Structure 1
Amino acid sequence: MVELNRIELHTIGKLITPHKTIENIPVQAVGGREFTGIAELVPELAVGLESLDGFSHMIVLFHLHKITGYSLTVKPFMDTKLHGIFATRSPRRPSAIGMSTVKIIKVEANRVYFEGADMLDGSPLIDIKPFFAKVDNVPGTISGWLESKDNDVAEKTRSDDRFA
């Protein structure tokens, strides 16, 4: 593996979800609507959640802490062909960062309750950003190899042991 430059990130809390093992987790938040989770910030950061309850959705960035190593080409969960890692959202990445857009249920103290949990319980929380519909929805986008898949492939697909 190539030696990559390192940076220092600070986690802001952890994610609490019903997913205790990597297998059978929804591979995208849209497929995990029935699963709720909690983004629990360290108490000293709770004031940073002020006004988040006015948004319907948030983007959650987290560390894929159970993933080791990486592959530059992978067979993603939603396809049977190899693709470059940066053309997928597969978890075995040079920087093991996960990203999910989830629906906010409520904000209480240092906790944000959300719908769409597609991450492992205990995942270190890196950041929360509000979803801005006017700038995060980009009209006319093209989704590469995913365009040839059924519209609901992300909703139906579950993880297996290929990245464990």
Structure 2
Amino acid sequence: MSYRPIGVIHSPFNEPKGVPIQPSAAKGVRGTVEVFPEYASGLKDIEGFSHIILIYHFHLVEPGKLLVRPYMDDEEHGVFATRAPSRPNPIGISIVRLTGVEGNMLQVEDIDIVDGTPLLDIKPYVPEFDIRDVERKGWLERNVHKLPEAKDDGRFVKG
């Protein structure tokens, strides 16, 4: 199995350290999504959506571990119970606001992604498909209040 990037994500963040850890903590942060020309026709009708889901490759992280200490907790958790970027398959997802389309360039807001990140796919965000009422939020229940101040501290960066 192999994937090839369909584009590259551009943001004001030059390195992982200091990046908001979720789009909801990156309100108003602007960026662009450059879709490579050979994939540009796949953008037809995307301007009709206010939000899109970006699927990307965490290209700057250490190889995945099964136990991680996530940004908003001091305890280790199984990687699949976290949103940590260092994963067996380092795939990220972010729901961002689509503010404009010019050819193969998408203007977005609420971006929490490092500049130069390889883009794997784009999907439209549709509340009727994507929102669920939940009963439990696991260990995050006691930590989700930390999100507005939480930033990447560099713990998962290659090096």
Q: What TM-score bracket applies, with the shorter chain setting the length? A: over 0.9
- Distance (Å, rounded) in 1 between the aligned partners of 2:11 and 2:23: 12
Over 3 Å counting, the alpha-carbon distance change for 1:141 and 1:129 in structure 2 is: farther
**Cα RMSD (Å) of the superposition?**
1.2
Residue 142 (structure 1) shift: 2.4
Alpha-carbon distance in structure 2 between the residues aligned to 1:141 and 1:102: 25
1:90-141 Cα offsets, whole Å, 9 max, x none, are 0111101111011111111001111111111100000000001101001234
Displacement over 6 Å in runs of 4+ = none
Matched with 1:39 is 33
Equivalent residue for 2:66? 72
Q: Is 1:82 matched with 2:68?
A: no
2:115 paired residue number: 121
Q: Is 1:29 the counterpart of 2:26 in the alignment?
A: no
Indicate which of 139, 152, 155 corresponds to 1:162.
155
What TM-score do the two structures reach when normalised by structure 1?
Answer: 0.91
Which residue does 1:57 correspond to in 2?
A: 51
Aligned equivalents of 1:47, 1:62: Cα separation in 2: 19
Q: Mapping of 1:94-105 within 5 angstroms? A: 94-105=88-99
- TM (normalized to structure 2)? 0.94
Task: Kindly state the Cα deviation for residue 149 of structure 1 after the two structures are TM-superposed.
Answer: 2.2
Q: Give the deviation of 1:76 after TM superposition.
A: 0.4
Counterpart amino acid of 1:157? A
Task: Name the SS for the 1:15 alignment partner.
Answer: strand
Number of paired residues? Answer: 157
Contact 2:53/2:96 (<8 A) preserved: yes
- Structure 1, gaps ≥5 residues long: 1-6
What percent identity do the matched residue pairs reach? Answer: 37
Q: Distance in 1 between matches of 2:48 and 2:136?
A: 30
Report deviation, 1:72: 0.7
